[in-house]
Structure 1
């Protein structure tokens, strides 16, 4: 068990709480204009992509049976135009979103460093140096994916999913309903996996911080001399071995947790086209108003829906893991200094200052220890 002071215990208590999503979203608020540009590009690409299956249906049901070359050329040109528009929008969106992400990372790093500079000496007297470094490097670096890719990927995939679902309903609401009836079960399973991964990520970063603290404290010049003097080298090796083993175990759990749930989700998504062909084929055989073009277009919509859905499900897991990292970072930001500089300090002229300093019966102890470091010391200067 490592030593902590009151500041650090406050941090540990706050870190166990989940960070509200509104606090995460607040990090994006200063970049609202740029985010609106990204959102506009995402919506434009999503709407353009949703028109592709309709053009495919028109080619199969109208242009090819009627041998209408002019209509076929226009529809094919429309397909190519949508592809170009989506590519250009994707490049612009990636550039702007990466710029936003790096700005947020920079602001978070500086804010954390500035706040650590304001904390009291007692915090750093008992907080492990390696753990502080872990917050500044490992935890914030782990948020890189969230701020540069995941957040905008979520917005883009939500846009694609919404426009695709609306288009599927407009195409044939009966087949659309049959295609989406299993989604509540998929979302429930995904939420279970995301919650599990979030807990494991928090534990994992705790042990990584422990390992970083052990390395920093034992392999510095002072720590190395102290370890050799006190004969603690074997103890430190054993401690590092145990911590590294815990990190490896949690890393394995992080990558394998919820695999059965994920396998069920993948199975449900992959059998969807077969079920759609079966239901649509039966409807077509019984003359229930389904054309071959409609069936092909709906399958195209499902293919268009599949990857955004998979990415959204994976993004929910990544967002929960990122929230665990933010919880640790915000834990430091929420730590209040025990000693605060007065806003208007008293000015003292050292040339005319006279008098003495007296300590009478002063005792002092660190919060983590049960005994007094100084016990009723009297001193006159």
Structure 2
């Protein structure tokens, strides 16, 4: 259902009021598996906070009792205590640091694992709607950005709160007047922190967005394909200028954030410096003018300033943590934004677990409709976020229906990419899909793989609705050689075994021979252990494609999809592969997409597609006799060339 922009922004405004509390709850849930360690950290911090009060009180005892009473024993006891106490505190702090690091790093690990798993489960629509660099930035930069906060912040908060509470209690025990003076400037510090934190969160969010933009740009231009494109068209200077522009934006945001933090630290330090001065002024004035009735001793002042040395940094740390948390919330919001994205393609309740041996391989399309843009949440989200960034949440926005196109598509099947597709493919048949680019041939195979779900109609394998078959089973049933061959930056062997890690050496070699690539592999420097380079760029297009075919043959699927599988092969290699595929047709259904009609002349059934519809179907001879679209395609490739 299409959303109206005004409704979307109003919903975002309502969510914004509760988002911080919800985010904090979700962060707290991430620590739940490590609650035992968190409790130990808490106990260690409490103990350290209590032990930290001992030395200031011992100093008071030295000035008010040991020295005036000339007690050597008491002075010796106080001296030993001042030496021993930091040792105890140091050992406890070391253990606390280990536990804090242990918990923090595992929480970050869990976030990475969850985000990566969630991204793996997203539909192909998500990855075609988002930039690869943007996705990588969320996983690397955003999760990495909260690492220090997750690792240190919990400990720092508990430590600072414990020190503040215990120190204030000890300060009031010594002098209520000096305590009130010490705390008098605290409201000003809190107000400054709130303002800085709110502004810093917005700057941090914009910084991460710009970092994601820069990461996406680098990923796009520094990949093998990007570099090749740049050099072919001589666009190095233009690309460099754009990179410098995006990099400058990131630099400006970073400088702005750092300067804001610097001003904040300066103001907090000024306040912290003023507080002891006020204490010395008030306490010293009372002792000078009324030493007998002031109720304040020299030992009180020394102990009090020692306590201030504990309290004020702890308060400053709490204020800094508050600012850092606001900045981290922007990163957590971006992480949770991805984690909250719905997974479109999922197993139905009670999905069938089917092994390939149970399937013969018949395929049936019954009045199937499909459109890429219908119910596309990612495209809508991009539109909404773009308008939101320009207008701002909470501002009045015209009630224009920015999703009108999607609403129109929702109610009108004629906008579909695929329209009224009905066909039956028998088990073991070789069926070819032909037609001009953009006719919907690849889209039809995507539906069979459940990379997308159909909008209307029914798609079956051996009478089973494919939506009732588990995704794992469906993946095991179908093998694909895609139009764009993708190889990992690994050895030939690793690329082949990617399809079936438990395959034997003999099975791997047999698959390579069937794809007419074994001899070429043995000619490489390290044979099957040769590294193919990123995306296989150390190999020719034909070699890559034959390895991709061997990889699918090793998988031995019941249904085989060849999407322009021989488009990069020379005539000799193409003939070898066609010959090797003949015995493999037994007990296997093959769906082949081809622009080169010479590769599918012997197909059992040829489907001619145009504008998302099947306009003709039949064998090569039958279609030529009709003198229709297929005949035109045939004449374009053969007759025009011969003339």
Measure the CA separation in 2 of the matches of 1:94 and 1:361: 59
Pair 1:169-2:172 in alignment: yes
Q: Pick one of 156, 161, 175 that aligns with 2:159.
A: 156
Correspondence 1:50-199 to 2 at 5 A? 50-199=53-202
Correspondence 1:281-300 to 2 at 5 A? 281-284=284-287, 285-286=289-290, 287-300=293-306
Structure 1: runs of 5+ lacking an equivalent: 1-8
Quick check: 2:23–2:332 contact (8 Å CA) kept in 1?
no
Quick check: 2:23–2:333 contact (8 Å CA) kept in 1?
no
1:230: Cα distance to partner? Answer: 6.3
Measure the CA separation in 1 of the matches of 2:180 and 2:211: 46
Structure 2: runs of 5+ lacking an equivalent: 1-7, 381-404, 410-414, 419-610, 618-643
Measure the CA separation in 1 of the matches of 2:60 and 2:152: 34
TM-score norm. by structure 1 comes to 0.89
User: Alignment length, in residue pairs?
Assistant: 371
Report which of the two has the higher share of strand: 2
Q: Deviations over 1:95-145 (max 9, x none)?
A: 111111111111111111111111111001121111111111111111221
How has the CA–CA distance of structure 1 residues 290 and 356 changed in structure 2, closer, same or farther, with 3 Å as cutoff? closer
Alignment correspondent of 2:392: none
Alignment correspondent of 2:534: none
Alignment correspondent of 1:323: 329
Quick check: 2:369–2:416 contact (8 Å CA) kept in 1?
no
Measure the CA separation in 2 of the matches of 1:187 and 1:339: 48
Quick check: 1:109–1:136 contact (8 Å CA) kept in 2?
yes
1:239: Cα distance to partner? Answer: 3.0
Other structure's SS at 2:209 match: helix
1:339: Cα distance to partner? Answer: 2.2
1:296: Cα distance to partner? Answer: 1.1
> Which structure is higher in RCO with an 8 Å CA cutoff and minimum separation 6?
1
Other structure's SS at 1:135 match: helix
Measure the CA separation in 1 of the matches of 2:158 and 2:305: 24
Correspondence 1:170-249 to 2 at 5 A? 170-227=173-230, 233-249=236-252
How has the CA–CA distance of structure 1 residues 46 and 360 changed in structure 2, closer, same or farther, with 3 Å as cutoff? closer
Measure the CA separation in 2 of the matches of 1:351 and 1:264: 73
The range that moved more, 63-72 or 251-260, is: 251-260
TM-score norm. by structure 2 comes to 0.54
Q: Pick one of 300, 308, 312 that aligns with 2:318.
A: 312
Rg (Cα) greater in structure: 2
Quick check: 2:123–2:344 contact (8 Å CA) kept in 1?
yes
Report which of the two has the higher share of helix: 1
How has the CA–CA distance of structure 1 residues 319 and 337 changed in structure 2, closer, same or farther, with 3 Å as cutoff? same
RMSD: 2.8
Q: Deviations over 1:313-360 (max 9, x none)?
A: 211111221221111111111111122222433448775444644667
Other structure's SS at 1:345 match: coil
Measure the CA separation in 1 of the matches of 2:416 and 2:349: 32
Quick check: 1:362–1:377 contact (8 Å CA) kept in 2?
no
